[in-house]
Amino acid sequence: MICGVDEAGKGSVLGPMVVAAVGAASEDLFLDLDVKDSKLLSPKKRGHLFGLIEKTCSIATVIIPSETIDARRKEISMNACVARAHAAVISRLNPTTAYVDACDVNPVRYAQMVREHLHDRSCGIVSEHHADQTYKIVSAASIVAKVVRDREIGLLAETFGTIGSGYPSDPVTVAFLSSYMEKHHRPPACARMSWKTIEHLIADTEQRALF
């Protein structure tokens, strides 16, 4: 078995990060599937492909809540956190080779970071930037990670209302955070407290209260 690994929500200020691995005997399985980087697909197309991938491939996912990310970032870097999660899903599938979308500026160094957390060190790690555009099996993993994370964001929206995508570049997310902070004087439970976006909002709220 080979597997592809990717994540969704690494840079999000709200909600979890989801890491997914998709395993198959060969990439030939994806010849008839229009898999590509999940960001290039509509939600409807991602959902359709997710169903097909789920039926034909082995899948492993890890959902890391915002509070866990905050706790881990006190001890390790975000890249190290992602590498640990990549290794976790790879270990569940136990492939001979894993293709990963490198989070570090140095792909070789990132491969070593992942390998250090593997139970089976004989698994080959192919670490490349933009692997989700190069390898269809990594594209499949990106689709799974994105669909699962979107579901998690949907569950959060049921609790908090309209929160957008959860990314600091999303005006809807920023508007939600500003409104929530103004009303409650603290970030929502789904926020990543270690993010600069939250630190700035807290500082702005405290400054307005002072004046």
CATH architecture type of domain 2-153:
2-Layer Sandwich (3.30)
Give the integer Cα–Cα distance in Å for 115 and 120. 9
Q: Does the pLDDT at position 210 exceed 60?
A: no
Terminal CA-to-CA distance of the chain, rounded, Å?
62
Q: Does the pLDDT at position 12 exceed 90?
A: yes
Average pLDDT of the chain?
92
Question: What pTM, to 2 d.p., does this model score?
Answer: 0.92
Q: Does the pLDDT at position 206 exceed 70?
A: no
Q: Does the pLDDT at position 55 exceed 80?
A: yes
Q: How confident is the model at residue 209 (pLDDT cuts 50, 70, 90)?
A: low
Please spell the DSSP secondary structure of 178-211, one letter per residue.
HHHHHHHSS--TTB-TTSHHHHHHHHHHHHHHH-
Q: Does the pLDDT at position 120 exceed 80?
A: no
Give the integer Cα–Cα distance in Å for 207 and 184. 15
CATH 1.10.10.460 fits 158-210, yes or no: yes
Q: How confident is the model at residue 192 (pLDDT cuts 50, 70, 90)?
A: very high
Q: Does the pLDDT at position 205 exceed 90?
A: no
The pLDDT of residue 29 is: 85
Give the integer Cα–Cα distance in Å for 113 and 91. 14
The pLDDT of residue 81 is: 95
Across the range 74-86, mean pLDDT stands at 95
Give the integer Cα–Cα distance in Å for 184 and 78. 28
The pLDDT of residue 125 is: 96
Q: Rounded to an integer, what is the distance from CA 49 to the centroid of its chain?
A: 18
DSSP state of 75: T
The pLDDT of residue 190 is: 95
Across the range 141-160, mean pLDDT stands at 97
Give the integer Cα–Cα distance in Å for 153 and 162. 10
Please spell the DSSP secondary structure of 81-132, one letter per residue.
HHHHHHHHHHHHH--SEEEEE--SSSHHHHHHHHHTT-S-TTSEEEEETTHH
Q: Does the pLDDT at position 207 exceed 90?
A: no
**Residues forming beta bridges with residue 4, ordered by sequence position:** 22, 99
Q: Does the pLDDT at position 108 exceed 70?
A: yes
Per-residue pLDDT reduced to its tens digit, 153-188: 999 999 999 999 999 999 999 999 999 998 998 999
Domain chopping of the chain, boundaries: 2-153, 158-210
Q: What angle do CA 93, 98, 100 make, to 5 degrees?
A: 115
Give the integer Cα–Cα distance in Å for 13 and 153. 12
Q: How confident is the model at residue 91 (pLDDT cuts 50, 70, 90)?
A: very high
Across the range 32-50, mean pLDDT stands at 87
